[in-house]
């Protein structure tokens, strides 16, 4: 009888040893084999979240909306036409005229270039003498230049520059959204794998107790073992079934969370099946070299969207400062115009008129300008302090993450060694029990200790991959997060 039990325990030990050498392979329900289902890869999850996650799509729409606003701002320099006409319907004078003008605004020197044509007929009073033209009308061209105020910056150019900066800012916000989503998708994926791994451990632990129960039942019936051992083993079976039920609950919860990022072609969430669990953890890269941390920090400061957004805020506030200084300047507008009438009529209308006009406006009180300048300067000081603090936080964040990553990598190695030792003790204890040299309580204690060691190994893998996802996001490494190298 003892030999039969020995063979049973040896078989269980061999099965557990084989199981320990591979990562959890959870059998799907319904007798379906894992080979019939393609394991879900991290790349597939990251591609799905990148292309179909609603928050990412919303960020793209925000960029498109801001691009529309930029196009609208460019409209400030669109060519436009002006038309004026006047007719006297009663009274002594019967004068009438029409005036058409095309105006093209230019950004340089806040210039407006124009050309037009006007023609009049009938009689006008002397105080409207300028309305007279020869019978074929008058053609004219001209330009208006701002020589002081609005020469370097004006409301139209400021609006255009601000719209471009706002578009840059919106694109940076969209990148930040994509980084966060990809980070969360990667974290949800490894959480799902960890839940599947833990379920496999507890199912193996339950299988050991259930397989032992048959052998114990035979030994009890043959009088080789007291019935209390059989009852105690059944108690362990119930306890371990509770572990399995809880692990199944956690796997479903992890699959539900992952379904937010794993989406069908129509954009609806797709819950991954248990059969899609990969056979192995994602291959971790080499450990981060501590000597490269400073370089990673410098690269992150240049690439982090938060830093870019703050830099754009600074540029927009500098633009407000320029506008405030512009308001302090006198307005000096130079208008150059050439006009010529064609046809017959008064001789005084013949020839080419070359006209120079200078309009000057001097501000007396400058409270608006000074207030805008003071506000912009204070805001720039605030933003500079915010920038310094953000850079310091990023520096500390990356150093902390690099340290966490290094420690998590060592924990994985230690946890693996612990599993190996726990498996050795568990197998040895089962062999001693089969030979009658061990206590039943101690056998179960060793088995559960081995299972707990495996769970700690799973948690160590989870902690390491989670720290890796944090490091990728913090250092804006797009390639590992499925965002491409650009």
User: In this model, does residue 21 exceed pLDDT 70?
Assistant: no
Decide if 484 is inside a domain.
Answer: no
372, part of any domain: no
70-109: pLDDT as tens digits: 999 999 999 999 999 999 888 888 899 999 999 999 988 8
- Quick count: other Cβ atoms within 10 Å of Cβ 178? 22
Question: Are 102 and 31 part of one and the same domain?
Answer: no
pLDDT at 233: 81
Note the pLDDT tens digit of each residue in 230-246: 888 888 899 999 999 99
In-domain check, residue 373: no
Residue 3 confidence (pLDDT) above 80:
no
Residue 7 confidence (pLDDT) above 70:
no
Alpha carbon distance 284, 297 (integer Å): 21
Query: What total number of domains does the chain contain?
Result: 2
Helix orientation angle between 440-474 and 367-434, rounded to the nearest 10 degrees: 160
φ, ψ of residue 111 in degrees (nearest 5): -90, 140
Q: Does 146 share its domain with 97?
A: yes
Measured in whole angstroms, the distance separating CA 97 from the mean position of its chain's CA atoms is 61
pTM of the shown model: 0.83
pLDDT tens string 298-320: 999 999 999 999 999 999 999 99
| Shared domain check, 304 and 189 | yes
pLDDT of 229: 72
Co-location of 306 and 335 in the same domain: no
Domain span at 94: 80-151+329-362
The structure tokens 């114990």 sit at 216
Q: Note whether 282 and 42 are within 8 A (CB).
A: yes
Query: Looking at residue 143, what is its pLDDT?
Result: 96
Whether residues 125 and 185 share a domain: the answer is: no
> DSSP states of 146-172 as a string?
ESSTTSS--HHHHHHHHHHHHHHHHHH
Is residue 482 a part of any domain in this protein? no
Is 47 found in the same domain as 100?
Answer: no
Percent of the chain with pLDDT over 90: 70
14 and 119 housed in the same domain: no
**Least confident segment among 19-33, 125-139, 169-183, 370-384:** 19-33
Considering the domain architecture, whether residues 295 and 194 belong to the same structural domain is answered as: yes
**385 — alpha (psi -120 to 50), left (phi > 0) or beta?**
alpha
294 and 220 inside one domain? yes
The tokens for 44 are 């597939």
Residues 101, 224 within the same domain: no
Could you give the angle at the alpha carbon of 81 between the alpha carbons of 80 and 85, nearest 5°? 160
For residue 286, the model assigns a pLDDT of: 64
**CATH number for the domain that contains residue 403:** 1.20.1600.10
Residue 2: per-residue pLDDT: 34
What is the DSSP track for 21-64?
Answer: HS---PPPGGG--GGGSPPPPHHHHHHHHHHH-HHHHHHHHHHH
- Is 79 buried (19+), middle (13-18) or exposed (0-12) by CB count in 10 A? exposed
Residue 370 within any structural domain of the chain: no
| Other CB atoms within 10 Å distance of the CB of residue 159 | 18
Does residue 295 share a domain with residue 395? Answer: yes
* pLDDT value of position 30: 37
Asked if 236 and 227 touch (Cβ cutoff 8 Å), the reply is no
pLDDT-derived band at 256 (thresholds 50, 70, 90) equals: very high
pLDDT confidence of residue 217: 76
- CA 147, chain centre distance (Å): 45
As a whole number of Å, the CA-based R_g of the chain is 40
Please check whether residue 479 lies inside any domain of the structure.
no
Does residue 407 share a domain with residue 353?
no
- Report the candidate in 452, 429, 453 with the shortest Cα–Cα distance to residue 441: 429
Predicted pLDDT of residue 8: 31
Kindly state the percentage of the chain with pLDDT values over 70.
91
Q: Shortest CA distance to 471 belongs to which of 411, 419, 397?
A: 397
* Structural domain includes residue 220: yes
For residue 321, tell me if it sits in a domain. Answer: no
Kindly state the greatest CA–CA separation across the chain.
140
Q: Is the pLDDT of residue 110 over 90?
A: no
């Amino acid at each position: 009888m003892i030999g039969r039990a020995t063979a049973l325990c040896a078989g269980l030990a061999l099965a557990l040893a084989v199981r320990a050498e591979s990562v959890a392979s959870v059998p799907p329900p319904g007798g379906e084999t894992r080979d019939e289902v393609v394991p879900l890869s991290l790349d597939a999850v990251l591609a799905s979240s990148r292309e179909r996650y609603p928050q990412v799509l919303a960020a793209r729409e925000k960029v498109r909306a801001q691009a529309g606003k930029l196009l609208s701002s460019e409209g400030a320099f669109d060519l436009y036409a002006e038309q004026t006409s006047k007719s006297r319907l009663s009274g002594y004078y019967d004068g009438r005229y029409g005036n058409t003008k095309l105006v093209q605004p230019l950004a340089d020197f806040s210039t407006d270039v124009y050309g037009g044509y006007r023609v009049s007929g009938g009689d006008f009073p002397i105080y409207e003498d300028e309305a007279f033209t020869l019978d074929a009308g008058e053609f004219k061209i001209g330009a208006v230049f701002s020589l002081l105020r609005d020469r370097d910056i004006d409301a139209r150019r400021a609006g255009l520059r601000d719209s471009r900066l706002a578009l840059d800012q919106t694109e940076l916000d969209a990148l930040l959204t994509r980084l966060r989503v990809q980070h969360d998708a990667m974290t949800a994926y490894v959480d799902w794998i960890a839940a599947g791994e833990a379920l496999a451990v507890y199912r193996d632990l339950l299988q050991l107790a259930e397989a032992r129960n048959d052998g114990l039942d035979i030994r009890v019936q043959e009088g080789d073992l007291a019935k209390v051992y059989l009852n105690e083993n059944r108690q362990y079976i119930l306890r371990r079934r509770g572990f399995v039920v809880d692990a199944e609950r956690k796997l479903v919860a992890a699959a539900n969370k992952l379904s937010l990022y794993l989406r069908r072609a129509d954009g609806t969430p797709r819950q991954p099946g248990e059969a899609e669990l990969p056979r192995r953890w994602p291959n971790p890269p080499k450990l981060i070299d501590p000597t490269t941390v400073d370089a990673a920090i410098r690269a992150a400061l240049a690439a982090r969207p938060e830093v870019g957004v703050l830099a754009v805020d600074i540029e927009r506030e500098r633009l407000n400062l320029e506008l405030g200084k512009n308001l302090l300047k006198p307005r000096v507008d130079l208008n150059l115009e050439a006009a010529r009438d064609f046809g017959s009529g008064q001789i005084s209308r013949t020839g080419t008129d070359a006209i120079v006009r200078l309009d000057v406006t001097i501000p007396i009180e400058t409270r608006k300008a000074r207030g805008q300048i003071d506000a912009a300067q204070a805001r720039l000081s605030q933003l500079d302090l915010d920038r310094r603090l953000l850079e310091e936080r990023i520096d500390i964040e990356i150093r902390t993450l690099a340290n966490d990553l290094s420690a998590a990598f060592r924990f994985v190695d230690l946890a693996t060694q612990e599993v190996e030792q726990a498996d050795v003790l568990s197998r040895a204890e089962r062999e001693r029990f089969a030979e009658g040299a061990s206590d039943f309580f101690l056998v179960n204690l060793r088995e559960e200790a081995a299972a707990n060691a495996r769970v700690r190994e799973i948690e160590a893998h989870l902690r390491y991959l989670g720290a890796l996802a944090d490091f990728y996001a913090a250092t804006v490494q797009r390639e590992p997060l499925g965002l491409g190298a650009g």
